[in-house]
Structure 1
Amino acid sequence: MTRHEDGWVVSVDVLEVARIPDTTSLLATYEVRVDERGELQEYRRVRRYRRGAADDC
């Protein structure tokens, strides 16, 4: 979560495609922008990955 002059930017991880076994499920990270009242301004997917996949460092 990051504070900006006109609101907040929040990163949210969500399950996009549930699969069996769970380790093959697809997850995604979304960047969500909300104003100071908490009203949604914009969102976008910034990353999609397989559950258990190592981060690129």
Structure 2
Amino acid sequence: RLAAEHDYEVNLKAELEVRLLHEKLDEIREQKWKDLVEMQQNQIKMLQQLLESEKVMRK
């Protein structure tokens, strides 16, 4: 009976640790997506600036 209780506690703790790891991974993944979106927005701005400067140079 004590062994079963111990096994239960160990399994419960492991399950909680796995859940916390999943949450951390989700947070990291979400931040990476935000970073990627920000990088793409910056790239779009730079491309727009290049296009504008090219238009000015052609005039």
Give the TM-score, by structure 2 length.
0.19
Report which structure shows greater RCO (CA 8 Å, sep ≥6).
1
Work out which of the two has the higher radius of gyration on C-alpha atoms and give 1 or 2. Answer: 2
Q: Report the structure, 1 or 2, having the larger helix content.
A: 2
Q: Report the structure, 1 or 2, having the larger strand content.
A: 1
Give the TM-score, by structure 1 length.
0.20
